[in-house]
Amino acid sequence: MAYSCKLLEPGWAGLLSLDEAKHIKCCLEKDAKLRRKWKIRGKKPSLPAIAAKAYPEDPDGGRRYIQKVLTAERYRIKHKT
C-alpha cells in the first residue's frame, strides 16, 4: 500500500490505523534521522509509542487506541476458524 510522505511527519496523521503504524515503524527502524525527528529512542520503537507521537493532541488517547486495535487483531488471529 502506498502512503503519503506526510504520514512520516510527527503529529500529522492523528489516530493511526494499524497498517499506518506498522508502516511508520518500519521506516523508523531503517532511518535514525527520522527517529530523531519523531523523538523516539532505540532502534525498535513500539507501536503505542509511535501512536502517541502521531497524535500529540491526546498522546494517551492515541496510545490507548492502538492498544485496542492490537488487542482486537490478536484476538481475531487467535480465534480464526
Q: DSSP per residue over the chain, as a string?
A: ----GGGGSTTTS-SPPHHHHHHHHHHHHH-HHHHHHHT--SSS--HHHHHHHH-TTSHHHHHHHHHHHHHHHHHHHHT--
- pLDDT value of position 33: 94
pLDDT digit string, tens, across residues 39-80: 988 889 999 999 999 988 889 999 899 999 999 888 888 887
Please tell me whether the overall predicted TM-score, pTM, comes out greater than 0.85 for this model: no
- Is residue 54 within 8 Å of 11, Cβ to Cβ? yes
- pLDDT value of position 9: 87
* Separation CA 4–CA 36 (nearest Å): 20
